[in-house]
Chain A
Amino acid sequence: MMHRTPLILGKKTYKDISDDICALVERFPSPRFMLGLAGAQFLFLIFVLVQGAIVFKGLGLMGVSHPVGWATDIVTFVFWIGIGHAGTLISAILFLFRQKWRTSIARTAEAMTVFAVMTAGLFPILHVGRPWLAYWLLPYPNQRGPLWVNFRSPLIWDVFAVSTYATVSIVFWYVGMVPDFATVRDRAKNIWRKRIYGLLSLGWRGTAHDWNHYEMVYMLLAGLATPLVLSVHSIVSFDFAVSSLPGWHTTIFPPYFVAGAIFSGFGMCITLMTIFRALVPTIKDYITMEHLDVMNRIILATGMMVGYSYGSEFFVAWYSGVEYEQYMILNRALGPLNYSYWTMVTCNVLIPQIFWFRKMRRNLWVMFIVSIFVNIGMWFERFVITVTSLHRDFLPSNWGMFHFTMFDFGALFGSFGLFLTLFLLYLRVLPSVSIAEVKPVSKVGYEGGEHGHH
């Protein structure tokens, strides 16, 4: 019989698990945590000011101009949407594959999804230039005919895909938290905590009949979220692939985008989990080195998948015999924006190779630094796809150059402020490990006779 490593360290009893997880909600956070939150809020403030200026003055404050009409806003939108995908992979796809190790990180990964999609969703709305008219993207009966949206446009598919993704992710996340809210409610000594978490728990009682339906719905949502997550980044890639621009018009895009999304999402997941462990030491028994090791292996594997896609773009450019396609790929690697291409290749393909070594996969500093590189590399991947394709297309008279402004940087770095503020507040107010899901697997690896009946 194979030896199973414990999923939760420290031989916890059920009460220990409730105490450990609820303590994060019940106790006043440490000074270190407050310092982290203050840093995140500072970045968030920059975001508010920069986006406020852009809305007030116009998109011209950013680097977008002819011929590069899509830049930081769209790049950052795709970046954040991609981040979200790893969360759904952990919470839904690994659930369907009955990977029990996912239970203690699923809640936080799902939170990452929700906040990443919220951050992402702002960018197309701000990119339309007049965000107060963004609701025109929705098909609602209006006094102009009614003039409906163009359902043949990938941009409208995107509206449906991203809003469905946001809705289903939030519902999945919330349904998972309902029993845990009931745990916090029943422990609460403070009347307001009891009321607020009681309201959030919707009066959950945990009867066998309730659990019977609950588990079924959880599985159904996982089953629905799985094709959904694959569809979302495929549809995001259609924004590019359905056009006829060299560098965009590619059939490889849907799988290439999905692999990249999972790669970048696991990168961000490692960043957040290492921060979580640093800010809240008690969580180390729940988010163990085993979890981080497995995630680093996924980073290695998906990093090579995106590397393969980069290679296949070269091959297809050569094999197609299309002059524009061939020029596009050479321009990416050797043209004026070549720094972005080589940053992408270095960060996404070369640096993760260090994870072939077990020692490196289990070193917190190494994985934190690599995960930051993965984040940088994946932002540049979307930059390469979007901007280097646009800045030199078919006619040389239509060529131009893209220059960053301070507002591009402000919007990008500021979005991390929004994301991290939401994430740190989540760690403070919501049960950040699924209490009800962790308890049934807490004995794995301790009982001699544990044979895994699933």
Chain B
Amino acid sequence: MREASMGIIDKAISCISDKGQDGIAGIWDDEHKLVEAAKKTRDSGVVGFEAISPFPLHGIDEAMGIPLSFIPWVTFVFGLSGCAFGLWFTWWTSAVNWPILIGGKPMFSLPAFIPIMFELTILFGALSSVASLFFICGLPRVEPPVIDPDLTSHRFALFVPKTAKGFDKQRLMDLFKSLGADEVKETRF
């Protein structure tokens, strides 16, 4: 039993400890140059590269061709489910499972149940949005590879993994240097 549970824990840890891929990274000190570089890199035919920044960059989605997040659909569906669950649960407990006459009100007192339905709509919507964010971003992740510790503070990077379409080590290093990168290196991310 103990061995089995150890197995599960090890499996879970290996699942969330992504050790990354080898590739080429260019690091910039200016976010405008990075956005420009992302655009040029994409134009040069590289597909499947990544930009890393300490804060959301204006225009990076357009430069890299990242589509609008689909999470609102998750929120919408789960919000509606929360509302429906609230309606079903208040009805089932108050009118079906053990109906009790209180103050002469109908067993199914819909107006009184609306606050419950409303709160459950918000709760389901909010928690499902955050859960899908974590799922998409692969969080939680144990000791993710770090290209440069300043990338969560004041530097900006592009990373092209070896597996990316159009990967050519020398060409990319030259491209990043010509785009004004302050540092270009081989790394894991």
The interface bits of chain A over 251-269 (1 if a CB of B lies within 8 angstroms of the residue's CB, else 0) are 0000000000000000000
Judge if A98 is at the interface, Cβ distance under 8 Å. no
Which residues of A have CB within 8 Å of B130?
171, 175, 217, 221
The interface bits of chain B over 122-136 (1 if a CB of A lies within 8 angstroms of the residue's CB, else 0) are 110111011011101
Q: Which of B61, B94, B154 contacts A152 (CB 8 A)?
A: B94
Question: Can you name the residue of chain B whose Cβ is closest to the Cβ of A150?
Answer: B102
- B 141-173 contacts with A by CB, 8 A: 141-144, 146, 149-154
The interface bits of chain A over 215-236 (1 if a CB of B lies within 8 angstroms of the residue's CB, else 0) are 1110011001101100100010
Question: Can you name the residue of chain A whose Cβ is closest to the Cβ of B79?
Answer: A224
Looking at the assembled complex, report how far the CB atom of A417 sits from the nearest CB atom of chain B, in whole angstroms. Answer: 30
**Judging by beta carbons under 8 Å apart, are B153 and A183 in contact?**
yes
**Judging by beta carbons under 8 Å apart, are A220 and B113 in contact?**
no
Judge if B69 is at the interface, Cβ distance under 8 Å. yes
- B 64-122 contacts with A by CB, 8 A: 64, 66, 68-69, 71-72, 75, 79, 89-90, 93-94, 97-98, 100, 102-103, 105, 109, 112-113, 115-116, 118-120, 122
Looking at the assembled complex, report how far the CB atom of B86 sits from the nearest CB atom of chain A, in whole angstroms. Answer: 9
Which residues of B have CB within 8 Å of A224?
75, 79, 122, 125-126, 129
**Judging by beta carbons under 8 Å apart, are A161 and B71 in contact?**
no
Which residues of B have CB within 8 Å of A14?
54, 153-154
> How many residues of chain A have a CB within 8 Å of chain B?
62
**Judging by beta carbons under 8 Å apart, are B149 and A208 in contact?**
no
B: residues with CB less than 8 A from A are: 16, 38, 50-58, 60-61, 64, 66, 68-69, 71-72, 75, 79, 89-90, 93-94, 97-98, 100, 102-103, 105, 109, 112-113, 115-116, 118-120, 122-123, 125-127, 129-130, 132-134, 136-144, 146, 149-154, 189
Which residues of B have CB within 8 Å of A156?
116
**Judging by beta carbons under 8 Å apart, are B55 and A152 in contact?**
no
How distant is the Cα of A125 from the Cα of B151 in the complex, in angstroms?
46
Which residues of B have CB within 8 Å of A186?
146, 149-153
How distant is the Cα of A187 from the Cα of B105 in the complex, in angstroms?
61
**Judging by beta carbons under 8 Å apart, are A202 and B57 in contact?**
no
